[in-house]
């Protein structure tokens, strides 16, 4: 009998009614304004707040996947733990993750391969209430349709440990990597925009030394930036805002940004 990790934050971070959720996600994707990368993205960085706060920024990333439906067969999804201490990166115990839009099959074969790495553990508790991964799933379900998921809740780890995990499941065009991270937390609006601007520049420069003050998902982001440099990817900024732009108090904001990572353009030499 397959074990299912049920949706934990439906009705809080996003609608729990399937029809309303589908309409919400489709509207966000349709309204996404970011320009398209020159080639299909290998990886995305997306925020993970409630859709009313960061849904439009997340949609700017997921809108890049329109032409990849049917081509992307696996999504490697990493996000920071918010409630449970984890040393390293934690795989779930489940076989499937559920949202109001249906169930997503996990890539059991890849999970087995990752279990061989010393920094990878299994923890149902790390995933049980974790929103950083869950809020990405309705977007992925709507954008990609059928795919397998490889979800990792990232705790205390080095950028190199994260990069080693990504390397093992990097794959080809069939594999998309998604890193879930917000930016600064609870600064006044003007200060947050300055701080987030510096963080955006660091990500665009593939600087894998972000702190958790800069991004709550700094650990998985840093791992991706290391791997991106190794694989010759460049980062493209898709959208940046903070919670005061959408539904929050300007005295205490959370920053959001979305990025796509694509291969560097190879210029032919005359």
* Residue 7 domain flag: no
Residue % of the chain over a pLDDT of 90: 90
Q: Could you tell me if residue 240 is inside a domain?
A: yes
**Does residue 269 belong to any structural domain of this protein?**
no
261: Cβ–Cβ under 8 A, 6 or more apart, which residues? 41, 42, 43, 44, 45, 177, 224, 228, 233, 234, 235, 236
User: How many Cβ atoms sit within 10 Å of the Cβ of residue 68?
Assistant: 16
> Does 30 fall in a domain?
no
Confirm whether 4 is domain-assigned: no
CA distances from 83 to 123, 155, 213, 258 (A): 12, 10, 17, 24
- Please give the residue range of the domain that contains residue 162: 39-263
- pLDDT, tens digit, for every residue of 72-98? 999 999 999 999 999 999 999 999 999
Number of domains observed in the structure of the chain: 1
Blockwise average pLDDT, block size 10, the chain, 270 residues: 93 98 97 71 97 97 93 98 96 98 98 97 97 98 97 98 98 97 95 97 98 97 98 96 89 95 69
pLDDT at 248: 78
In a domain, 129, yes or no: yes
The answer as to whether 74 is a domain residue is: yes
Per residue in 96-107, pLDDT (tens digit) is 999 999 999 999
The answer to whether position 115 is within a domain reads: yes
Question: Residue 114 maps to which CATH number?
Answer: 3.40.830.10
């Amino acid at each position: 009998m397959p074990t299912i990790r049920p949706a934990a934050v439906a009705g809080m971070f996003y609608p729990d009614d399937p029809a309303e959720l589908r309409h919400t996600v489709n509207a966000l994707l349709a309204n996404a304004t970011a320009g398209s990368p020159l080639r299909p993205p290998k990886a995305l960085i997306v925020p993970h707040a409630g859709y009313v706060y960061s849904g439009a920024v997340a949609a700017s990333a997921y809108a890049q996947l329109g032409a990849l439906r049917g081509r992307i067969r696996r999504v490697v999804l990493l996000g920071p733990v918010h409630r449970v201490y984890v040393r390293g990166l934690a795989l779930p115990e489940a076989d499937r993750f559920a949202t109001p839009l249906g169930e997503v099959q996990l890539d059991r074969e890849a999970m087995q391969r990752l279990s061989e790495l010393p920094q990878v553990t299994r923890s149902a508790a790390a995933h049980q209430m974790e929103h950083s991964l869950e809020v990405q799933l309705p977007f992925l379900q709507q954008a990609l349709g059928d795919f397998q998921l490889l979800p990792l809740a990232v705790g205390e780890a080095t950028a190199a440990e994260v990069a080693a995990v990504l390397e093992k499941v990097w794959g080809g065009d069939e594999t998309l990597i998604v890193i879930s991270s917000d930016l600064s937390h609870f600064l006044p609006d003007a200060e947050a925009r300055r701080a987030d601007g510096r963080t955006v520049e660091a990500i665009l420069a593939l600087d894998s030394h972000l702190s958790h003050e800069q991004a709550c998902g700094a650990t998985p982001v840093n791992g991706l930036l290391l791997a991106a440099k190794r694989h010759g990817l460049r980062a493209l900024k898709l959208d940046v805002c903070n919670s005061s732009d959408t539904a929050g108090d300007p005295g205490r904001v959370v920053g959001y940004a979305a990025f796509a990572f694509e291969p560097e353009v190879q210029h032919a030499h005359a």
